Structure 1
Protein backbone atom coordinates (compact mmCIF):
# COMPACT_ATOMS: atom_id res chain seq x y z
CA UNK A 1 0.00 0.00 0.00
CA UNK A 2 3.08 2.28 -0.11
CA UNK A 3 4.38 4.37 -3.02
CA UNK A 4 2.49 6.35 -5.63
CA UNK A 5 -0.50 4.75 -7.38
CA UNK A 6 -1.82 5.41 -10.81
CA UNK A 7 -5.18 7.15 -11.03
CA UNK A 8 -6.73 3.89 -12.27
CA UNK A 9 -5.33 1.91 -9.32
CA UNK A 10 -6.60 4.50 -6.84
CA UNK A 11 -10.02 4.47 -8.50
CA UNK A 12 -10.21 0.66 -8.37
CA UNK A 13 -9.26 0.52 -4.71
CA UNK A 14 -11.67 3.31 -3.85
CA UNK A 15 -14.49 1.51 -5.68
CA UNK A 16 -13.59 -1.69 -3.83
CA UNK A 17 -13.86 0.13 -0.50
CA UNK A 18 -17.23 1.63 -1.47
CA UNK A 19 -18.45 -1.83 -2.50
CA UNK A 20 -17.20 -3.32 0.77
CA UNK A 21 -19.37 -0.86 2.69
CA UNK A 22 -22.48 -2.12 0.89
CA UNK A 23 -21.38 -5.74 1.34
CA UNK A 24 -20.78 -5.27 5.08
CA UNK A 25 -24.21 -3.65 5.57
CA UNK A 26 -25.95 -6.34 3.52
CA UNK A 27 -24.05 -9.22 5.10
CA UNK A 28 -24.68 -8.09 8.66
CA UNK A 29 -28.35 -7.46 7.90
CA UNK A 30 -28.55 -11.02 6.56
CA UNK A 31 -26.90 -12.30 9.72
CA UNK A 32 -29.43 -10.28 11.69
CA UNK A 33 -32.26 -12.02 9.81
CA UNK A 34 -30.73 -15.47 10.28
CA UNK A 35 -30.21 -14.92 14.01
CA UNK A 36 -33.08 -12.52 14.70
CA UNK A 37 -33.69 -13.98 18.14
CA UNK A 38 -30.06 -13.48 19.21
CA UNK A 39 -28.94 -9.94 18.50
CA UNK A 40 -25.53 -10.59 20.09
CA UNK A 41 -24.46 -12.51 16.97
CA UNK A 42 -25.20 -9.63 14.59
CA UNK A 43 -23.71 -7.13 17.05
CA UNK A 44 -20.46 -9.10 17.22
CA UNK A 45 -20.10 -9.55 13.47
CA UNK A 46 -21.16 -5.95 12.86
CA UNK A 47 -18.45 -4.61 15.16
CA UNK A 48 -15.76 -6.77 13.55
CA UNK A 49 -16.82 -5.87 10.00
CA UNK A 50 -17.10 -2.16 10.84
CA UNK A 51 -13.60 -2.17 12.31
CA UNK A 52 -12.34 -3.82 9.13
CA UNK A 53 -13.89 -0.98 7.10
CA UNK A 54 -12.32 1.64 9.38
CA UNK A 55 -8.91 -0.04 8.97
CA UNK A 56 -9.34 -0.10 5.17
CA UNK A 57 -10.13 3.64 5.19
CA UNK A 58 -6.94 4.21 7.17
CA UNK A 59 -4.87 2.28 4.62
CA UNK A 60 -6.43 4.01 1.63
CA UNK A 61 -6.25 7.51 3.07
CA UNK A 62 -2.79 7.27 4.70
CA UNK A 63 -4.11 9.42 7.56
CA UNK A 64 -6.28 8.62 10.54
CA UNK A 65 -8.88 11.36 10.81
CA UNK A 66 -11.19 9.96 8.13
CA UNK A 67 -10.90 6.54 9.73
CA UNK A 68 -12.03 8.02 13.04
CA UNK A 69 -14.81 9.90 11.26
CA UNK A 70 -16.07 6.64 9.72
CA UNK A 71 -17.01 5.39 13.21
CA UNK A 72 -20.11 7.61 13.15
CA UNK A 73 -21.74 6.04 10.06
CA UNK A 74 -20.53 2.67 11.38
CA UNK A 75 -22.81 3.19 14.36
CA UNK A 76 -25.77 3.78 12.04
CA UNK A 77 -24.88 0.67 10.03
CA UNK A 78 -24.60 -1.38 13.21
CA UNK A 79 -27.91 -0.20 14.68
CA UNK A 80 -29.76 -0.54 11.38
CA UNK A 81 -28.41 -3.95 10.42
CA UNK A 82 -28.88 -5.46 13.90
CA UNK A 83 -32.38 -4.14 14.64
CA UNK A 84 -33.97 -4.13 11.20
CA UNK A 85 -34.68 -7.87 11.09
CA UNK A 86 -36.37 -8.27 14.50
CA UNK A 87 -38.39 -5.09 14.06
CA UNK A 88 -39.58 -6.15 10.62
CA UNK A 89 -40.44 -9.64 11.84
CA UNK A 90 -42.48 -8.25 14.73
CA UNK A 91 -44.31 -5.87 12.41
CA UNK A 92 -45.16 -8.72 10.05
CA UNK A 93 -46.12 -11.51 12.42
CA UNK A 94 -46.24 -9.96 15.88
CA UNK A 95 -49.41 -10.05 17.96
CA UNK A 96 -50.42 -6.69 19.41
CA UNK A 97 -51.74 -6.66 22.96
CA UNK A 98 -52.88 -3.89 25.26
CA UNK A 99 -51.21 -4.38 28.63
CA UNK A 100 -50.71 -2.71 31.99
CA UNK A 101 -47.38 -2.45 33.83
CA UNK A 102 -47.97 -4.16 37.18
CA UNK A 103 -44.46 -4.46 38.61
CA UNK A 104 -40.94 -3.16 37.97
CA UNK A 105 -37.48 -4.38 38.87
CA UNK A 106 -34.10 -2.77 38.15
CA UNK A 107 -30.72 -4.50 38.07
CA UNK A 108 -28.19 -1.85 37.13
CA UNK A 109 -29.17 -0.59 33.69
CA UNK A 110 -31.47 -3.57 33.06
CA UNK A 111 -35.11 -2.77 33.83
CA UNK A 112 -37.72 -5.54 33.87
CA UNK A 113 -41.44 -4.78 33.84
CA UNK A 114 -44.13 -7.38 34.61
CA UNK A 115 -47.21 -6.97 32.42
CA UNK A 116 -50.85 -7.93 32.65
CA UNK A 117 -53.18 -8.18 29.66
CA UNK A 118 -56.87 -8.78 29.10
CA UNK A 119 -56.48 -12.52 29.83
CA UNK A 120 -54.19 -12.16 32.83
CA UNK A 121 -50.45 -11.76 33.52
CA UNK A 122 -48.09 -12.15 30.57
CA UNK A 123 -45.43 -14.82 30.95
CA UNK A 124 -42.84 -12.62 29.25
CA UNK A 125 -41.77 -9.31 30.80
CA UNK A 126 -40.84 -6.11 29.00
CA UNK A 127 -37.08 -5.58 29.29
CA UNK A 128 -35.39 -2.22 28.83
CA UNK A 129 -31.64 -1.58 28.80
CA UNK A 130 -30.71 1.97 29.73
CA UNK A 131 -30.91 4.66 32.35
CA UNK A 132 -34.46 5.96 31.86
CA UNK A 133 -37.02 3.43 30.62
CA UNK A 134 -39.94 5.85 30.98
CA UNK A 135 -42.40 3.14 32.12
CA UNK A 136 -44.36 3.41 35.38
CA UNK A 137 -46.47 0.94 37.34
CA UNK A 138 -50.10 1.31 36.28
CA UNK A 139 -49.20 2.63 32.84
CA UNK A 140 -51.03 1.12 29.86
CA UNK A 141 -49.22 0.45 26.60
CA UNK A 142 -49.29 -1.68 23.47
CA UNK A 143 -46.75 -4.46 23.03
CA UNK A 144 -45.90 -6.86 20.23
CA UNK A 145 -45.24 -10.52 21.01
CA UNK A 146 -43.83 -13.14 18.67
CA UNK A 147 -46.19 -16.11 18.25
CA UNK A 148 -43.19 -18.23 17.22
CA UNK A 149 -41.40 -17.41 20.48
CA UNK A 150 -38.17 -16.43 18.70
CA UNK A 151 -38.23 -12.70 19.43
CA UNK A 152 -38.54 -10.90 22.72
CA UNK A 153 -41.60 -8.84 23.57
CA UNK A 154 -41.27 -5.19 22.54
CA UNK A 155 -43.10 -1.93 23.12
CA UNK A 156 -45.08 -1.48 19.89
CA UNK A 157 -44.27 2.24 19.77
CA UNK A 158 -40.54 1.44 19.67
CA UNK A 159 -40.74 -1.10 16.85
CA UNK A 160 -39.89 0.80 13.67
CA UNK A 161 -38.34 -1.14 10.79
CA UNK A 162 -38.63 1.93 8.54
CA UNK A 163 -36.50 3.96 10.92
CA UNK A 164 -33.91 1.17 11.15
CA UNK A 165 -33.76 0.97 7.34
CA UNK A 166 -33.18 4.72 7.15
CA UNK A 167 -30.39 4.41 9.73
CA UNK A 168 -28.79 1.64 7.68
CA UNK A 169 -28.99 3.69 4.46
CA UNK A 170 -27.59 6.78 6.19
CA UNK A 171 -24.68 4.73 7.51
CA UNK A 172 -23.86 3.27 4.10
CA UNK A 173 -24.16 6.71 2.49
CA UNK A 174 -21.76 8.14 5.07
CA UNK A 175 -19.31 5.32 4.43
CA UNK A 176 -19.55 5.95 0.67
CA UNK A 177 -18.69 9.64 1.03
CA UNK A 178 -15.82 8.86 3.38
CA UNK A 179 -14.47 6.16 1.04
CA UNK A 180 -14.55 8.54 -1.94
CA UNK A 181 -12.79 11.25 0.05
CA UNK A 182 -10.24 8.79 1.40
CA UNK A 183 -9.49 7.52 -2.10
CA UNK A 184 -8.98 11.00 -3.52
CA UNK A 185 -6.88 12.30 -0.62
CA UNK A 186 -4.89 9.08 -0.44
CA UNK A 187 -4.07 9.33 -4.16
CA UNK A 188 -2.91 12.92 -3.72
CA UNK A 189 -0.84 12.06 -0.66
CA UNK A 190 0.93 9.21 -2.45
CA UNK A 191 1.54 11.29 -5.56
CA UNK A 192 3.13 14.08 -3.49
CA UNK A 193 5.13 11.62 -1.38
CA UNK A 194 3.46 12.43 1.92
CA UNK A 195 3.96 9.82 4.60
CA UNK A 196 1.34 8.24 6.88
CA UNK A 197 0.12 10.50 9.64
CA UNK A 198 -2.39 10.33 12.48
CA UNK A 199 -3.76 13.79 11.75
CA UNK A 200 -4.38 14.96 8.17
Structure 2
Protein backbone atom coordinates (compact mmCIF):
# COMPACT_ATOMS: atom_id res chain seq x y z
CA UNK A 1 0.00 0.00 0.00
CA UNK A 2 1.04 3.58 -0.67
CA UNK A 3 -1.05 5.02 2.14
CA UNK A 4 -3.00 4.05 5.20
CA UNK A 5 -3.26 4.61 8.89
CA UNK A 6 -2.49 2.85 12.13
CA UNK A 7 -5.41 2.14 14.41
CA UNK A 8 -5.14 2.83 18.12
CA UNK A 9 -2.70 5.73 17.82
CA UNK A 10 -5.21 8.58 17.76
CA UNK A 11 -4.48 11.26 20.36
CA UNK A 12 -1.10 9.72 21.21
CA UNK A 13 2.03 11.82 21.60
CA UNK A 14 5.33 10.44 20.32
CA UNK A 15 8.99 11.12 20.94
CA UNK A 16 11.76 9.82 18.72
CA UNK A 17 15.39 8.72 18.97
CA UNK A 18 17.20 8.64 15.64
CA UNK A 19 20.08 6.39 14.54
CA UNK A 20 22.44 9.32 14.96
CA UNK A 21 21.90 11.85 17.73
CA UNK A 22 19.97 14.85 16.42
CA UNK A 23 21.14 17.34 19.01
CA UNK A 24 21.19 21.08 18.48
CA UNK A 25 24.92 21.89 18.20
CA UNK A 26 24.59 25.40 19.66
CA UNK A 27 22.89 24.12 22.82
CA UNK A 28 24.51 22.42 25.82
CA UNK A 29 23.48 19.01 27.11
CA UNK A 30 21.10 20.66 29.59
CA UNK A 31 19.71 23.05 26.98
CA UNK A 32 19.12 20.22 24.49
CA UNK A 33 16.96 18.44 27.05
CA UNK A 34 15.22 21.59 28.33
CA UNK A 35 14.46 22.61 24.73
CA UNK A 36 11.77 19.94 24.39
CA UNK A 37 10.17 21.01 27.68
CA UNK A 38 9.79 24.75 26.99
CA UNK A 39 6.01 24.76 26.70
CA UNK A 40 5.40 22.01 29.21
CA UNK A 41 7.08 23.20 32.41
CA UNK A 42 8.25 26.30 34.28
CA UNK A 43 11.98 27.09 34.17
CA UNK A 44 12.75 25.51 37.58
CA UNK A 45 10.83 22.35 36.71
CA UNK A 46 12.59 22.11 33.32
CA UNK A 47 15.97 22.49 34.98
CA UNK A 48 15.17 19.86 37.62
CA UNK A 49 13.86 17.35 35.08
CA UNK A 50 16.90 17.91 32.84
CA UNK A 51 19.24 17.46 35.82
CA UNK A 52 17.46 14.24 36.84
CA UNK A 53 17.72 12.79 33.33
CA UNK A 54 21.36 13.85 32.96
CA UNK A 55 22.11 12.07 36.23
CA UNK A 56 20.21 8.96 35.08
CA UNK A 57 22.34 8.70 31.94
CA UNK A 58 25.47 9.36 34.02
CA UNK A 59 26.43 12.63 32.33
CA UNK A 60 26.19 14.93 35.38
CA UNK A 61 29.73 16.24 34.84
CA UNK A 62 28.92 17.17 31.24
CA UNK A 63 25.71 19.21 31.61
CA UNK A 64 27.38 22.38 30.26
CA UNK A 65 29.12 20.67 27.34
CA UNK A 66 28.12 21.09 23.70
CA UNK A 67 27.50 18.06 21.46
CA UNK A 68 30.83 18.58 19.65
CA UNK A 69 32.60 18.11 22.99
CA UNK A 70 30.98 14.71 23.65
CA UNK A 71 31.73 11.21 22.40
CA UNK A 72 29.21 9.44 20.15
CA UNK A 73 27.90 7.35 23.03
CA UNK A 74 27.49 10.41 25.24
CA UNK A 75 25.56 12.22 22.49
CA UNK A 76 23.29 9.20 22.11
CA UNK A 77 22.63 9.17 25.86
CA UNK A 78 21.58 12.82 25.63
CA UNK A 79 19.23 11.89 22.76
CA UNK A 80 17.69 9.10 24.83
CA UNK A 81 17.33 11.40 27.85
CA UNK A 82 15.67 14.02 25.65
CA UNK A 83 13.19 11.46 24.28
CA UNK A 84 12.22 10.51 27.83
CA UNK A 85 11.91 14.21 28.76
CA UNK A 86 9.13 14.71 26.22
CA UNK A 87 5.76 13.94 27.81
CA UNK A 88 4.87 11.38 25.14
CA UNK A 89 2.83 8.19 25.27
CA UNK A 90 5.14 6.26 22.95
CA UNK A 91 8.87 6.51 22.26
CA UNK A 92 10.05 5.42 18.82
CA UNK A 93 13.72 4.41 18.68
CA UNK A 94 15.24 3.84 15.24
CA UNK A 95 18.41 1.79 15.70
CA UNK A 96 19.84 4.06 18.42
CA UNK A 97 22.69 1.63 19.13
CA UNK A 98 23.73 1.09 15.51
CA UNK A 99 27.44 1.39 14.85
CA UNK A 100 28.49 1.51 18.50
CA UNK A 101 31.20 -0.77 19.83
CA UNK A 102 30.14 -3.72 21.99
CA UNK A 103 31.22 -2.19 25.31
CA UNK A 104 29.44 1.11 24.66
CA UNK A 105 26.35 -0.69 23.37
CA UNK A 106 26.22 -2.78 26.55
CA UNK A 107 26.44 0.37 28.69
CA UNK A 108 23.76 2.17 26.67
CA UNK A 109 21.44 -0.83 27.06
CA UNK A 110 21.95 -0.62 30.83
CA UNK A 111 21.28 3.14 30.91
CA UNK A 112 18.23 2.76 28.69
CA UNK A 113 16.78 0.00 30.88
CA UNK A 114 17.39 2.02 34.06
CA UNK A 115 15.53 5.03 32.67
CA UNK A 116 12.76 2.91 31.17
CA UNK A 117 12.16 0.99 34.42
CA UNK A 118 11.51 4.28 36.21
CA UNK A 119 9.25 5.52 33.40
CA UNK A 120 7.56 2.42 31.86
CA UNK A 121 6.34 4.12 28.70
CA UNK A 122 5.73 2.10 25.57
CA UNK A 123 8.87 1.97 23.45
CA UNK A 124 8.98 0.75 19.86
CA UNK A 125 12.61 -0.16 19.30
CA UNK A 126 13.77 -0.82 15.73
CA UNK A 127 16.94 -2.85 15.36
CA UNK A 128 18.66 -5.24 12.98
CA UNK A 129 20.53 -6.78 15.93
CA UNK A 130 18.78 -9.91 17.21
CA UNK A 131 20.67 -9.78 20.51
CA UNK A 132 19.56 -6.19 21.17
CA UNK A 133 15.98 -7.23 20.52
CA UNK A 134 16.29 -10.15 22.93
CA UNK A 135 17.86 -8.01 25.67
CA UNK A 136 15.46 -5.08 25.38
CA UNK A 137 12.12 -6.30 24.04
CA UNK A 138 9.13 -7.69 25.87
CA UNK A 139 7.88 -8.68 22.44
CA UNK A 140 9.95 -9.12 19.30
CA UNK A 141 8.44 -8.80 15.84
CA UNK A 142 10.51 -9.80 12.81
CA UNK A 143 9.55 -8.07 9.57
CA UNK A 144 10.38 -9.08 6.02
CA UNK A 145 12.09 -6.86 3.52
CA UNK A 146 9.91 -4.32 1.69
CA UNK A 147 7.05 -4.54 1.44
CA UNK A 148 7.20 -5.39 5.11
CA UNK A 149 5.13 -8.21 6.52
CA UNK A 150 5.36 -10.00 9.84
CA UNK A 151 7.55 -13.10 9.57
CA UNK A 152 7.32 -14.10 13.21
CA UNK A 153 6.76 -12.62 16.62
CA UNK A 154 7.41 -13.80 20.14
CA UNK A 155 7.08 -12.72 23.73
CA UNK A 156 10.10 -12.63 26.00
CA UNK A 157 8.83 -13.72 29.41
CA UNK A 158 12.01 -13.07 31.39
CA UNK A 159 12.13 -9.45 32.68
CA UNK A 160 14.43 -7.14 30.73
CA UNK A 161 17.52 -6.19 32.68
CA UNK A 162 17.84 -9.71 34.08
CA UNK A 163 18.35 -11.51 30.79
CA UNK A 164 21.57 -13.25 29.85
CA UNK A 165 22.29 -14.00 26.20
CA UNK A 166 23.84 -17.30 27.26
CA UNK A 167 20.67 -18.53 29.01
CA UNK A 168 18.96 -21.55 27.45
CA UNK A 169 15.75 -19.53 26.96
CA UNK A 170 17.41 -16.72 25.01
CA UNK A 171 19.54 -19.12 22.97
CA UNK A 172 16.36 -20.93 21.89
CA UNK A 173 14.58 -17.66 21.06
CA UNK A 174 17.62 -16.37 19.17
CA UNK A 175 17.72 -19.57 17.10
CA UNK A 176 14.03 -19.19 16.26
CA UNK A 177 14.50 -15.56 15.20
CA UNK A 178 17.57 -16.39 13.12
CA UNK A 179 15.67 -19.18 11.35
CA UNK A 180 12.88 -16.75 10.43
CA UNK A 181 15.44 -14.27 9.08
CA UNK A 182 17.31 -16.97 7.16
CA UNK A 183 14.07 -18.27 5.66
CA UNK A 184 13.17 -14.73 4.57
CA UNK A 185 16.61 -14.19 3.00
CA UNK A 186 16.30 -17.43 1.03
CA UNK A 187 12.82 -16.62 -0.25
CA UNK A 188 13.36 -12.87 -0.71
Shorter-normalised TM-score: what interval? under 0.3
Choose between structure 1 and 2: higher helix proportion: 1
Which of structures 1 and 2 has the larger relative contact order (alpha carbons within 8 angstroms, sep 6+)? 1
TM-score w.r.t. the length of structure 1 is 0.26
TM-score w.r.t. the length of structure 2 is 0.27
Larger radius of gyration: 1
